[in-house]
Amino acid sequence: MIVVGLTGGIGSGKTTAAKLFRSFNIPIYIADVEAKLLMNTSKGIKQELIALFGEEAYLKDELNRPFIADKIFNDKVYLDKMNAIVHPKVGAHFKQWLERQNSPYVIKEVAIIFEHEQQSQYDLIISIIADKDKRLQRVLARDKSTPEKVLAIMNNQMNDIEKAKLSDFVIVNNDKSTLEYQVRKIHESILKHIKNSTI
């Protein structure tokens, strides 16, 4: 099964684009959504996060998001440690999910691929890019956040030009009217690529 990574900075439109791939019957796995679910359901993750952050990491059985967000925002070491706990579990969960799919390829949406040098986990990579000011406005309209927080996340991510250079396909998402067309073209190219590489 061909695994296509779909990546991009905060607010670039990854999930919006992933849903368009789904409309072409391509299975999509949204790593961030699955990670959030696993943090509430996996006993192993819960134990390790409590060991890292203390009992306050969970309120009853739910991850205490504001508490964790605050810790991570103020100390990047916490973010790295949390990722080291959660990412392998999401990776294992993705493998199980992949075995159940029956499709020429799947899309795995993940915010960070190049920053963690994980390109080798994908057969092809699509980067979605958009102007920073548009991304900022979109995230602020979607989330309860502040410009400072969104900009801090953006500045921790690789810039769009570098990402585009390392990708097989690039979607420019400044304007919603062209998004579906771009996704369709990439979908067709991926199907062609798969056909050509199996002849």
Which residues sit at the interface with ligand ATP, rule CB under 6 A?
A: 8, 10-16, 32, 111, 138-139, 142, 173, 175-176, 179
Q: Give the residue with the Cβ less far from ligand ATP, 144 or 176.
A: 176
- Amino acid in the structure at residue 48: E
Q: Give the residue with the Cβ less far from ligand ATP, 95 or 176.
A: 176
Q: Give the residue with the Cβ less far from ligand ATP, 85 or 111.
A: 111
Minimum CB separation of residue 175 from ligand ATP in Å reads 6
Minimum CB separation of residue 177 from ligand ATP in Å reads 8
The two three-digit tokens of residue 159, written as one number: 């810039």
Minimum CB separation of residue 129 from ligand ATP in Å reads 10
Tell how strand 124-129 and strand 169-172 pair up: parallel
Q: Give the residue with the Cβ less far from ligand ATP, 3 or 153.
A: 153
Phi, psi of 80, rounded to the nearest 5 degrees: -65, -40
Minimum CB separation of residue 110 from ligand ATP in Å reads 10
Q: Give dist(CA 24, CA 30) in Å, integer.
A: 16
Q: Give the residue with the Cβ less far from ligand ATP, 141 or 199.
A: 141
3 contacts 106 by C-beta, under 8 angstroms: yes
Q: Give dist(CA 12, CA 16) in Å, integer.
A: 9
Minimum CB separation of residue 15 from ligand ATP in Å reads 4
Q: Give dist(CA 154, CA 11) in Å, integer.
A: 9
Cα–chain center distance at 71:
21
